[in-house]
Structure 1
Amino acid sequence: MPQLDESFLDSVDALESLDSRGSLRALATAGAQVRRAFVAAREAGIDRVAGGDRPRSVLVASLGGSAVVCDVLDVLAEPGSPVPLTTRREAPLPGWIGPLDLVIAVSQSGRAAGPLALAAEAARRGAALLTVGAPDSPLADVAARGRGVHVDIASDAPSSRAALWSMLTPVLLAADGLGLVDCPEPVLERVADLLDERAEECRPSSESFVNPAKVIAVGLAETVPVVLGDGALTGVAAGRAAAMLARTARMPATHGALPDAASQVVATFDGPFTSSGGGNAAGRAPDGGRDIFADPYLDGPPAPQLGLLMVRDRPAPPDDPAGGASLEAVRLADAVTESAREAGVSVLEVEATGAHPIERLASLIALTDFAATYLALGLGLDPAVSRHVTELRDRTS
């Protein structure tokens, strides 16, 4: 089982020495990314997209560390978008895309094959085009040749995972201007402030027993993690958290959202990673905790324990039923966590803060991004460098 060194997490110097590309520092700039993206979008002429005629449909293309841009826009637009919005990771471009449609392509490097191919085909068909990515990149060139709008990403983040808000902000500004989502600049300014507050709360110098991101990292370190959102909005945050756990902390994690995922998640409580499923044979007490009398030489190493990270929306206030989790969602999430604890599952819960959906989503994503990065560092891993990912790129280049 992986072993996390809590003392390492409380040493700022140790964290900096292992974090070779400054992943923690990049996550702390999320609020600044939002503010810089405002300026970059205006300078690029985002009004040419947001202030024009409403398109017949919108297609958003992003993948990898940028893929959550699709998910965020999809969940925000779903309740009231006046036009269809679809997402696509790879080519081909759907046959119905034409001059009346808008294609948004996002890639931090501006070189991701899927968004690049989709943007190029959209330009060939005469569709309106908004691209977000590195300046002087192939994606920027496609936008220029297609008379689209390209927003430069002014970020030195070590990966697209750490540059989320540089990529997402211009897309939200354009979508708000087109009336696809309700996300005006004042809301995004509050998001920037919230991200600053989260960065201060999760700073490296904050000790592990008070730093919420470090608490999550410690709690997940010796588990097989399942990340579960209590609804559609938190389901996006759960998907992002699972991706960060896998790509940043190298922890294989599954994810889902209630109500659809309730049965499949609860079914795992009968499996080999819980005490009720017989998973207490090696180093586990009957309640699922660590057996202090277990002998690692005679009994073998402790078996991994199932860990549930429940990502929860704030309860909806009485005067705004759409402003959070419904009573039914709260009850279902409570029932799942109660079942998990009874089965000996290690349960951690995080709850969104803020009023607007994008604020609540930002509060969750920022916290779990920091948690995954601290988990990587606590396990002795550089968050931004994976030997196997590098080898995969070499073998497929």
Structure 2
Amino acid sequence: MPHLDEAFLDSAESLEALDSRGSLRALATSGAQVRRAIVAAREAGIDRVAGGDRPRSVLVASLGGSSVVCDVLDVLAEPGSPVPVTTRREAPLPGWIGPLDLVIAVSLSGRAQGPLALAAEAARRGASLLTVGASDSPLADVCARGRGIHVDVASPAPTSRSALWSMLTPVLLAADGLGLVDCSEAELERVADLLDERAEECRPSSESFVNPAKVLALGLAETVPVVLGDGALTGVAAGRAAAMFARTARIPTTHGSLPDAASQVVACFDGPFSGAGGAAPDGGSDLFADPFLDGPPAPQLGLLVLRDHPVAPGAPDHLDALEAGRLADAVVGSARDAGVRVWEVEALGGHPIERLASLIAMTDYVATYLALGLGLDPAVSRHVTELRDRTS
């Protein structure tokens, strides 16, 4: 199993030296990203998106590090949106998109082929267009020719993964103006404050025994991770976490959300990565195992459960939340009985976007500390660079 150097994680200077593009610094600016994006969206005329008639449908296009924008809008709009909200990563644009519809295309560089092609086709068909990305980019040019609204991403970021809130905020403001979600500027300001608090809690200078992101990184590094959300909202955070663990920390990670993923996750507790193979009953290392006679310890399953904020009794969805909590408790109990190491992270805040932000921010820090603790630069992958060279 990989070894995570705790002393290295506790050295802010060592972390900064390895983090060549300032990924940790970029994550710490998440709150500032929200505030700057609010201003940029206002200056771009985001209110004009909802200035006329409500569109017949909304399609959101993003991929790679910005693909979670699609997932967030989808989960927030799904319960009560008056119009259909769909997501798309790649062309072609669905045949039913036309002048009565709105297409939102998101790309930090403004050059991602999927969103760019979808935006260009939407403009050709006369659909309303909102784009978010770099200024003076092909995406901005397509938007200008289609007489749409383009919001510049002004905040510098080493990767699209660390610029999430610069890209997501304008989309949420537009959706709020259209009545698709309840996510006003005031609510986003509270999100910014929460992200600032998370940045302080998970700062590099905070020692590993009090820094919750470093604690999780140290534990997960010794496991084969599974990230499980206890519902639809936390399922989006689980998908983002798995993507960050794979792309940033280079650790293959599976994910799912309850209730759908309960059986497939619990079934893994019978397999070769559960408490068997030289592990102690509590999922830790067997103190009496001899690495020369017994061989190296087998990789152990680790379960990271993302829990939503408890719903107050009397709330409309209290019974559904209670049932979801019982199922999550049952999965956690089964995991511990099987010798699987378990960690739980509970969402903070009251509004859905606040709760989601608290979970995403935590797992983003965990993934970045995982990479650094394993001696990897979070923003630079040799094989990703080679892949781009081979496909360019």
Do both proteins adopt the same fold according to a TM-score greater than 0.5, normalized to the shorter chain? yes
Residues 6-25 of structure 1: matches in 2 within 5 Å? 6-25=6-25
Match of 1:272 in 2: 272
Match of 2:300 in 1: 305
After TM superposition, the structure 1 stretch with the greater mean CA deviation from structure 2, 195-204 or 41-50, is: 41-50
Amino acid at match of 1:380: G
* Partner SS for 1:106: strand
Structure 1 residues not aligned, in runs of 5+:
none
Structure 2 residues not aligned, in runs of 5+:
none
Q: Give me the whole-angstrom Cα distance separating, in 1, the residues matched to 2:29 and 2:283.
A: 39
| Superposed CA offset, 1:108-127 (max 9, x none) | 00000000000000000000
**Maintained 8 Å contact 2:41/2:170:** yes
Aligned pair 1:376/2:371, yes or no?
A: yes
The Cα of 1:302 is off from its aligned counterpart by 1.3
Question: RMSD of aligned C-alpha atoms?
Answer: 1.1
The Cα of 1:55 is off from its aligned counterpart by 0.1
**Identity rate, percent:** 84
Aligned pair 1:228/2:215, yes or no?
A: no
Amino acid at match of 2:242: A
Structure 1 pair 9–325 and aligned structure 2 pair: CA distance change class (3 A):
farther
Q: Give me the whole-angstrom Cα distance separating, in 2, the residues matched to 1:292 and 1:325.
A: 43
The Cα of 1:274 is off from its aligned counterpart by 1.1
**Maintained 8 Å contact 1:323/1:357:** no
Match of 1:194 in 2: 194
**Maintained 8 Å contact 2:280/2:339:** no
Match of 1:141 in 2: 141
Q: Give me the whole-angstrom Cα distance separating, in 2, the residues matched to 1:9 and 1:235.
A: 28
Amino acid at match of 1:64: G
Match of 2:259 in 1: 259
Aligned pair 1:348/2:334, yes or no?
A: no
The Cα of 1:287 is off from its aligned counterpart by 3.8
**Maintained 8 Å contact 1:280/1:288:** no
Amino acid at match of 1:379: L
| Superposed CA offset, 1:151-209 (max 9, x none) | 00012110000000000000000000000001111110100000000000000011111
How many residue pairs get aligned? The number is 392
Normalised by the length of structure 1, the TM-score is: 0.97
The Cα of 1:295 is off from its aligned counterpart by 2.2
**Maintained 8 Å contact 2:282/2:341:** no
Amino acid at match of 2:130: L
| Superposed CA offset, 1:185-244 (max 9, x none) | 111010000000000000001111111111110110010000000000000000000000
Match of 2:102 in 1: 102
Match of 1:48 in 2: 48
* Partner SS for 1:326: helix
The Cα of 1:312 is off from its aligned counterpart by 0.4
After TM superposition, the structure 1 stretch with the greater mean CA deviation from structure 2, 297-306 or 97-106, is: 297-306
Normalised by the length of structure 2, the TM-score is: 0.98
Q: Give me the whole-angstrom Cα distance separating, in 2, the residues matched to 1:195 and 1:41.
A: 19
Q: Give me the whole-angstrom Cα distance separating, in 1, the residues matched to 2:39 and 2:180.
A: 21
Match of 2:358 in 1: 363
Amino acid at match of 1:12: A
Q: Give me the whole-angstrom Cα distance separating, in 2, the residues matched to 1:344 and 1:185.
A: 45
The Cα of 1:48 is off from its aligned counterpart by 1.2
